[in-house]
Amino acid sequence: MWNSISAKRAKVAIVGLGYVGLPLAMAFVRKGFPVVGIDLDLSRIEKIRAGKSYLEDVSTAQVRQAVRRGRLEATETYDPLANSDVIIICVPTPLNRVKDPDLSHVLKATEAIRDHLQIGQLVILESTTYPGTTEEVVLPTLEHSGLKVGRDFFLCFSPERIDPGNKKFPLSKIPKVVGGITPVCTRLGVRVYQSVLEKVFPVSSARTAEMAKLLENTFRIVNIGLVNELAQVAGALGIDIWEAVRAASTKPFGFMPFYPGPGIGGHCIGIDPIYLSWKARLHGVDIHFIELARRINAEMPRFVVERAVYSLNARARKAVSRSKILVLGVSYKPEVADTRESPALEIIHGLQSLGAQVSYHDPYVPELKNDRFQLRSEALSRENLRKKDLVIVATNHSRTPYGLVAKHARMIFDTRNVAHPAFRSSKVVRL
């Protein structure tokens, strides 16, 4: 195994080809490793086989070249696992209906690996989860095969740190944390990631690596919750919260800027810390900061709806039930098409429930489909903007023509502090 990794002959299997799995697969391909991607979503498999990408961070040209050279294969079956040297699990870890961790995807992948497990293989879990998952869930399942960890096979946890849409920090430049079940597992995991990434940081255990990932996102959810609550206070006091944050940021020590918005979305910040609070409760510990921050952030879409209703009444003398509202940006963050847990969806639903006629524009999301509404992105034009009573900026995309919006919209609710001179006009309402 050690020699095959150094010579880049080790066969790598990636289970789950989403926002984490596909970029990781391409990172191994670029360094010369043969990679097979496994996903139960047939549309993803068909696109990869056709040499097409479905993610912003991976170009179609890259996928096409990898497939043509025989470096990247894609399949919906688990059969290639038996011939792989390194198996990396990158499947979703959502919450269930009662907001408890849902490890069903991890369990299914682990059971499939167990059924194909061979002596000498390295298995790595990257899916974000609570501390103890690798040791308490994945390990017993794999050892049910009769093989022993640290002797017959190797097991690590290495948290994903993908930041979709971030050009400054692509996957290769983000340090990787690795924690194994045994010291040999850790060293082997470090060797694998050192082959494709610039920096790898080993820790003493898989539990520590699991905790590190949740610590990162808990830090963010708590601070975002704090600034979102302060934004509401600042608004009541007639203070521009963005200016206050900029002023505080001039302090060269003891402060890190976080910015308010209409809520939080995506998997990392909105879901991952709940895994930690769930695990803590099992041990009789309540993490009050996480629960409070989660509640504050979850209330932000409702706050935006309330401010929109108030602004329509106060400025336009118009009821929300008779208003036409355009939402700009429905992805949870700029420059991506990912709408998972996006606060914009809650804002749309809240306004529609009050009788408003709501539409949206997003250069990355041509269509929205869920159990509450089905909409298509509208084109931005002078005529369309003039028909709207209110435009709500929910995601600050660089591809959105904000000059056109500022010039022709009747009233704008800027929840993202768009850095455009025209947004300083009196018709702009701030968060």
Q: Give the mean pLDDT of 314-328.
A: 95
Q: How confident is the model at residue 95 (pLDDT cuts 50, 70, 90)?
A: confident
Q: How confident is the model at residue 99 (pLDDT cuts 50, 70, 90)?
A: confident
- The answer, yes or no, to whether residue 350 has pLDDT greater than 90, is yes
Q: What percent of the chain has pLDDT over 90?
A: 82
**Dihedral of the alpha carbons of 163, 165, 169, 175, in degrees to the nearest 10:** 20
Select from 198, 192, 117, 130 the least CA-distant residue to 159.
130
Q: Taking phi first (over 0 means left), then psi (-120 to 50 degrees means alpha), and beta for anything else, what does residue 146 get?
A: left
Estimate to the nearest angstrom the gap between the alpha carbon of 272 and the chain centroid: 10
What would the pLDDT profile of 252-264 be if each residue is shown by its tens digit?
999 999 999 999 9
Q: How confident is the model at residue 204 (pLDDT cuts 50, 70, 90)?
A: very high
Q: Give the mean pLDDT of 81-110.
A: 93
Per-domain boundaries in the chain: 2-204, 220-430
Rounded CA gap, 46 and 75, in Å? 9
What would the pLDDT profile of 295-311 be if each residue is shown by its tens digit?
999 999 999 999 999 99
Rounded CA gap, 345 and 338, in Å? 12
| Across 17-21, 213-217, 422-426, least confident range | 422-426
Look up the pTM and report it: 0.91
Rounded CA gap, 222 and 234, in Å? 18
Return the CATH class of domain 220-430. Answer: alpha beta
Return the CATH class of domain 2-204. Answer: alpha beta
Average pLDDT, the chain: 94
Specify burial of residue 297 (Cβ count, 10 A radius: 0-12, 13-18, 19+): buried
Structure tokens at 262: 């209409």
- The answer, yes or no, to whether residue 250 has pLDDT greater than 90, is yes
Q: Which one of the listed residues 90, 156, 185, 268 is annotated catalytic?
A: 268
- The answer, yes or no, to whether residue 74 has pLDDT greater than 90, is yes
Rounded CA gap, 134 and 150, in Å? 14
Q: Is 268 annotated as catalytic?
A: yes
